[in-house]
Amino acid sequence: MKIGRIPYINCYPVYGAIDRGVIHLDAQLVDGVPSDLNRRMATGELDISVVSAVEYARDSARYLLLPDLAISCDGPVRSVMLFSRRPASELGGRNVLVSRSSMTSVALLELLFENVWHTSPRFVPGDAEVRDVVESTDDATDARLVIGDAALVLGSTQRDRYPYVYDLGEVWKQWTDQPFVFAVWVAQRSTDVRQALNAHAGLIASRNWGLSHLPDLAEQAHRATGVSRLICDDYLSGLDYGLSYPHLAGLTEFYRRLVERGRIPNGTLTFLPAA
């Protein structure tokens, strides 16, 4: 089997035990940014992967959700951030650079501009890796959506460039009073059920190990990004890796709003069946 993994530090709690050999996973791990994993799942190159929540909704007939496994927040997420030179409500008609690597974050940003900030900027696709963000000198961009490790780096080193900073998880919570699910784990419906169940059990066991070893993972994240250990610890501790009823309520609310606007097809949440 081939299983997709996002190389950002927000996936450390799910894959940390597998990387350390504490949990055995009978599969090949394939790294990729969210948009790359979305594409590989859509073309059948991967059997199981973490994907953008919007990717599941875009083609739910193709996938089965893995129960109790997601990347979500119930308030600030800290790694999906809008950095701006002016208030968000004043960005109408102005350039906002958006990451090419995350469908969900861009869809959420569009909803927030439409319903919270009540304005319509001009979205410009761009790169959002750490080097691209830190080294950018693009003065033509009034704001930029930054995700993953790059958002943590920019938030800790470049805040003077952008006096207005918005955490999209926090703004969603203030708007809807719901958690927000950024990513889910899915299996191809064509995948052997027994293999998928074994892989799911391994991922859950690794996730459980990771949540009980967050200080170790925060230290690893600090070494990987240069962001302070304290910030990494706060970040990982603030994320949720389950998919409970409240998470599903938030996910359903997000999908409902996208369906209303014709941005995703109407579909259903279908889970990998129990053994």
Are the C-beta atoms of 73 and 239 separated by less than 8 Å? Answer: yes
| CATH number reported for the structural domain that contains residue 38 in this entry | 3.40.190.10
Cα–Cα dist 195/47, whole Å: 10
Is 63 in the same domain as 92?
A: no
Q: What angle do CA 231, 236, 241 make, to 5 degrees?
A: 165
Q: What pLDDT, on the 0 to 100 scale, is given for residue 158?
A: 65
Q: Is residue 272 situated within a structural domain? A: no
Is 196 in the same domain as 139?
A: no
Q: Is residue 266 situated within a structural domain? A: no
Q: What pLDDT, on the 0 to 100 scale, is given for residue 41?
A: 97
Is residue 53 predicted with pLDDT exceeding 70?
Answer: yes
Residue where one domain finishes, among candidates 155, 176, 197: 176
Is residue 130 predicted with pLDDT exceeding 60?
Answer: no
Cα R_g (the chain), whole angstroms: 18
Reported as a pLDDT band with limits 50, 70 and 90, residue 133 is: low
Q: What pLDDT, on the 0 to 100 scale, is given for residue 36?
A: 93
Q: Is residue 269 situated within a structural domain? A: no
pTM of the model: 0.93
Average pLDDT over residues 112-137: 77
Reported as a pLDDT band with limits 50, 70 and 90, residue 99 is: confident
Is 255 in the same domain as 187?
A: yes
Phi/psi region, residue 93 (left: phi>0; alpha: psi -120 to 50; beta: rest), is left
The total of structural domains in the chain comes to 2
Q: What pLDDT, on the 0 to 100 scale, is given for residue 85?
A: 94
Cα–Cα dist 169/47, whole Å: 29
For residue 93, the enclosing domain spans 80-176
Average pLDDT over residues 195-216: 98
Residue that is written with structure tokens 């927030």 in the block = 112
Is 64 in the same domain as 189?
A: yes
Is 171 in the same domain as 84?
A: yes
Is 186 in the same domain as 166?
A: no
Cα–Cα dist 204/200, whole Å: 6
Is 155 in the same domain as 199?
A: no
State whether residue 152 is helix, strand or coil: helix
Reported as a pLDDT band with limits 50, 70 and 90, residue 73 is: very high
Q: Is residue 267 situated within a structural domain? A: no
Is residue 16 predicted with pLDDT exceeding 90?
Answer: yes
Q: What pLDDT, on the 0 to 100 scale, is given for residue 128?
A: 53
